[in-house]
Amino acid sequence: MMKNWNQVNAKIFTVFILVHVITFYCLTHVTFKIEYLYYALGMYFFRWAAFTCCLHRYFAHRVCKTTRIFQFFLDLWGTLLMIRGPLTFSSGHRLHHQKSDTPEDLHSIHHHHPLYAYLGWVISKRYDENKIGLIKDLQKFPELYYLNKFYYVPNLILLYIFYRYGNFAVMTWAGLVSILMTWHMAFSVTILFHKWGVQNYQTNDHSRNSFFLNLFTLGEGWHNNHHFNMNSARLGHKWWQIDPGYWILWCFEKVGLV
């Protein structure tokens, strides 16, 4: 998976394994009901909305402006993906755009083993905001720094809320299963968006648009559009290219939040 296992961040990799083990253990102690699947899907889309609106469009690309207070809310929402911290993600993603589909791109399937492109970019020590840099505009906010460092804390609180005010099954499906669904969708699209689909624009990379994947990613499926104009809040350029992530930001703008 990696040329040198010394590159693996043991702490992050351990968390990755533990969350899977704990989730599958909990699933064996819950009698399945169809409503639990709805809990998982609902929380999946809630977490994914945080990915596309907060981590990707706002923090990584700064496609809109907001107050420091609402910025903190967006950062807090973004931690619920548990894909490292928001600043760490933003740093790595900006590198992805600078070095897209080159050997320096941490998740390019065209230059790395598929397993590395799928997961290695998250658990590698190379995926470090201080080594990558590129986020001086974000590092000046101490509240963002601490949320980035302790990004798992809001998730532990959310799991407790699900357990305390719901039950063990709600915690399992809404809390844990939805995290795994979000993780593996995020890991998958890093490969799929640069492997399969249609290129509407000529870019210096292999980015693709995918109508099918867009159904599960709230606008992120228009990836080639995004690489053509990464500073646009709107990823769907044509009227039929549905972009729920943009609609959310549009609503935030209408009420004066961004």
208: left (phi over 0), alpha (psi -120 to 50) or beta: beta
Q: In whole angstroms, give the CA distance from residue 103 to residue 100.
A: 9
Q: Are 100 and 193 in contact (CB under 8 A)?
A: no
How many CA atoms does the CB half-sphere of 33 hold within 13 Å? 9
Which residue positions in the chain have pLDDT lower than 70?
A: 1-6
Q: What is the pTM of this model?
A: 0.94
* Tokens coding 250: 């549009």
pLDDT tens for each residue of 212-223: 999 999 999 999
pLDDT at 131: 78
pLDDT at 18: 96
* Tokens coding 253: 């703008």
pLDDT at 5: 56
Q: In whole angstroms, give the CA distance from residue 236 to residue 243.
A: 6
Q: Are 247 and 229 in contact (CB under 8 A)?
A: no
pLDDT at 6: 65
3-state DSSP call for residue 148? helix
How many structural domains does the chain have?
Answer: 1
pLDDT at 4: 54
pLDDT tens for each residue of 118-135: 988 888 888 887 778 899
Q: Which domain holds residue 162?
A: 5-254
